[in-house]
Chains A and B, each alone.
Chain A
């Protein structure tokens, strides 16, 4: 995965969660499946998406929440 693809992937993840704020809670697994499909042409794998989620949570751009199951959200 190129740096450019990685950047696009991270932006797509944040933008998806932003778009559905207060409408839908995305489990990390949902994001992985969604992004794997969306970026399949760029050769993005499950592990790439997991790695992107890790970087986004490590940098504080996304946080985890829990309501019956774990989900990803934007920081309050």
Chain B
């Protein structure tokens, strides 16, 4: 097929043996004329080092305030095919499991009504169908609904909750992240599809400290698996690892809290009360070490990417949450906690202020008091980093002396 636009810079990105997004766009362009214009605009952006996309506007499907990200070319005369090039966010399955048949059906819709390009998956977790025209949005929505899918979140709403593969494929999982993600997604459909928040709010569920969803850096509310009891040790398997590599160099010395020791006579010993559940030793010797059996999760709050006011990592809100117990009540305790957090954010937050920024502005002490949690040492991220404990008896004594 002859190319409509010359793309010497993009062609450089096809060289090498690795997959190339340029090659994929070119393949999609064989079936979609608009995608040919996409190549032309991307080439121009690379040449000029200027982005030629505008986003936002009044695009969506009836009744929903979320799920469609409006995208327009600022060079519509030159690239008419991508004058409108909206993104459709489709709520992914928990753990990203699909049958090949379902994928084919989804792709058929993308080829028929949009650019035939997808992101599997966007950074929020959704399946993203790229390049939909405004006139096609309702049809695309109806077609995906027939397949059993719904739109995901966008705008000032709850973003599509996402999770790791959890107990479906991972031996480190401390709780059923897929079940919880699905339960919370179903419970908060209204908050996801009808934006009423000050800004976006993201949940991510990782079933162990490896945090495969990177929730600690990206989610307003992270649920990360942990365990209460001791790490399970198979001393024979530890010895086997000792024959393959230097245990001190690769495991013992790399323990961040130095809670491990090893000798040929005594084997591996772990001071579990000092273990921070970083997962390094378990990742390095998966056949010898396993998380404890009393699994649950730590709930953290306040992470965000650099948009608007700089990146933040989350802080501990609840050190140990018994997920399994709460799951028996359809996550009632967790949902109640979330409602209190949103109530506080709604009352005191300002436009485009994420929950982490609000907590920083009003202070951790005020925040946890409002949502009914007791202050705990685990909430302090770093010594003198976010101190919030007020020793009232000292203040009173000081006031008495002055008075």
Let me know if B110 is at the binding interface, CB within 8 A: no
B residues with a Cβ closer than 8 A to A are: 55-58, 60, 62-66, 69-70, 154-157, 190, 194-199, 346, 351-352
Instruction: With CB as the reference atom, state the residue of chain B lying closest to A46.
Output: B346
A37 to B: closest C-beta gap in Å: 14
| Residues of the A chain whose Cβ atoms lie less than 8 Å from the Cβ of B69 | 66
A-B contact sample (18 more), CB < 8 A, given A66-B56, A70-B155? A28-B196, A53-B194, A57-B63, A57-B64, A58-B62, A60-B62, A64-B58, A64-B60, A64-B64, A64-B194, A65-B57, A66-B69, A67-B57, A68-B352, A69-B199, A69-B352, A70-B65, A70-B195
Residues of A within 8 Å of B60, CB to CB, are 63-64
Q: Is the CB of B70 within 8 A of A66?
A: yes
Q: Enumerate 27 A-B pairs (CB-CB under 8 Å) in ascending A order.
A: A27-B351, A28-B65, A28-B156, A28-B194, A28-B195, A29-B196, A29-B197, A29-B346, A54-B190, A57-B62, A57-B64, A58-B63, A60-B62, A64-B58, A64-B64, A64-B66, A64-B194, A65-B57, A66-B69, A66-B70, A66-B154, A66-B155, A67-B57, A69-B156, A69-B199, A69-B351, A70-B156
Interchain nearest-CB distance for A4 vs B (Å): 25
| Contact residues, A26-76 vs B (CB, 8 A) | 27-29, 32, 50, 53-54, 57-58, 60, 63-70, 73, 76
Chain A residue numbers with a CB within 8 Å of B199 are 69
Q: Which residues of B contact A50 (CB under 8 A)?
A: 190, 194, 196
Q: Which residue, of A27, A50, A73, has the highest number of chain B Cβ atoms within 10 A?
A: A27
A13 to B198, CA, bound (A): 19
Please report the C-alpha to C-alpha distance between residue A27 and residue B56 in the assembled complex, in whole angstroms.
Answer: 14
Q: Which of B55, B62, B155, B346 contacts A69 (CB 8 A)?
A: B155
Given known A29-B198, A54-B190, A64-B65, contact A70–B57 (CB-CB < 8 A): no
Most buried by A among B154, B194, B197, B346: B194
Residue numbers of A with Cβ under 8 A of B are: 27-29, 32, 50, 53-54, 57-58, 60, 63-70, 73, 76
Cβ of A70: which chain B residues have Cβ within 8 Å of it? 65-66, 155-157, 195
Question: Of B57, B64, B70, B156, which one neighbours A27 at CB under 8 angstroms?
Answer: B156
A3 to B197, CA, bound (A): 27
Please name the residue on chain A nearest to B191 by beta carbon: A50
Identity of the chain A residue whose Cβ is nearest the Cβ of B196 in the assembled complex: A28
Give the docked Cα–Cα distance between A41 and B351 (Å).
27
- Chain A residues contacting B56 (CB-CB under 8 Å) are 65-68
Residues in B with CB closer than 8 Å to A73 are 58
Nearest CB in chain B: distance from A8 CB, A: 21
Contact B351 A57 (CB under 8 A): no
CB distance from A17 to the nearest CB of B (A): 13
Which B residues are in CB contact (< 8 Å) with A67? Answer: 56-57
Assembled-state Cα–Cα distance A57/B60 (Å) = 11
User: How many angstroms from the CA of A54 to the CA of B81 in the assembled complex?
Assistant: 34
- Across-interface contacts of A60 in B (CB, < 8 A): 62-63
Contacts of A64 in B (CB 8 A): 58, 60, 64-66, 155, 194-195
Which residues of chain B are within 8 angstroms of A53 by Cβ–Cβ distance? 194, 196
* Contact flag A66-B190 (CB < 8 Å), given A57-B65, A60-B62: no
